[in-house]
Structure 1
Amino acid sequence: MTVNKDMTLPLILAIVVSSTIIWSGINPAFPEVWIAEIIPIAMIFAPLLVTFKWFKFSNSAYLFMSCWLILHTIGAHYTFANVPFDWFSELIGSERNHFDRFAHFSIGFYAYPIAEYLARKGYCNPVLAGLFGLCAIMAIAAGYEIIEWWYAVLAGGEAGIEFLGSQGDIWDAQQDMLADTLGAITSLVFFFYNKPYRISNSV
C-alpha cells in the first residue's frame, strides 16, 4: 500500500492554514500576544512544509494537524478568551468562553501523526507508537501550561492575563491538560481504525 499521490488535500489545507495565519496577523487584539501565540504555529507548520518532500503523512493526519493550526491561529488573533464563541456558551449555559477548550482538544490530535510516523518508520509496533503518541501529548500539554504561566508572569498586565486565558478558572491548567489528553485518545481511536501504519513510505 502506497501513499496517495494525489496531493490535493494537503495543498488545500496548506493554503487554508497560510491564509488563516495572514488574516490573524492583520490588526490582532494584542500584537505581543499574537507573536507569542504564533511562534508554536510556525514551529509546527514550517517543518511540515519543509519535510513534505521526504515524508508524507496520510490525509487523515494532515486533517488532524490542520485543526489545531487553524484554531490556535484564530485564538492568536482575538486572544482565546475573546474569540466570538458566544453561541456555544449560550448553548451550554455557561458564561465562560470555551473556545480554548476546543483548541486544546485539537492539540491532542497530534497523537495521530506522532504514532503514524513512529509506526511507518518501523521504530516500534503500532500499539507502542500509539502509547508514545498519548504520552507525548500529555507531556507537551503539561510543558505548555508551564510556558503559559512563565509568559504570564514575565509579560504581566493585561497581555499576560490574555495569554494565560484562564478567565478566572483556578483549574484552567488541569482542564486544558484533560482536553489535550481526551483529544489524543480520540485521534488514536481513528489511528487504530484507519491503520495508517500499513502505508508504505514509497511515493
Structure 2
Amino acid sequence: MARYSPEHKEATRRRMIETAGRRFKSDGIDGSGIATLVADAGLTNGAFYGHFASKDDLVASVVTQQLTDQVAVVDGLPAGLASVEAFLRDYLSPAHRDDPAGGCPSAALLDEIGRCGEATRQTYTDGARSMIEAITRHLAAGGTDGADERAIGILTLLVGSLQLARAVTDAELSDRILAAAYTQAITIAGARPGPATTLTQESP
C-alpha cells in the first residue's frame, strides 16, 4: 500500500475542506451527503474517514477555515474607515449575493450552524468574535467611538441583509435591500462612501 507524505495528507485534507465549504454554502450542510463531498474532492469514502472522524468533524473544520479566511481578508486591508467602506461595498454587491458558494459563510450557513453540535457552534463563536475584532480595529483606527459595538452592528446588518437579499424573488427589491443595507452600514461605521472597490480575494 502506498504511503503518503504528511504534506500530501495535509493537501488532501485542505482540498476536502475547501470543496466541502463551497458545497455546504451552495447546497446546505444537511443537503450535502458524504458521497457528494468526497466526490467533489476526488476522494473515496475510505479516504474521507482517514482525515475526519465524521461529517460533524468536517463541518467544524470547514467553519473554522471559512471564518479564518474571511478574517484574513479584513485584517489584510490597510487600517482605517476607507477599508471598511471597501469591504462593505464588496460584501453588499450583487456579485456576492449571486455567489453563495464563493461568499460569506455566515450568510450561507448561519441558520444551520445554530442547529449544529457544540463543537461546530464553538468554532463559529470563535470565528465570529475574530471577525468582530477585525472590523473593530478598522473602526478604532478611523477614530470612531464605541468601535466594538459598531462592529457587532455592522456584522449583524451585513449577514442579515445578504440573507434577505438572497431570499426574495423580486430582483429590484433585492437590489434595494443591498443598497439600503450599505447606506445604513456606512452610517454605523462613520465612513464616507467612496469609489467602488473590489477585494482581491474570492470570499468577502
TM-score under structure 1 normalisation? 0.29
More helix by share: 1
TM-score under structure 2 normalisation? 0.29
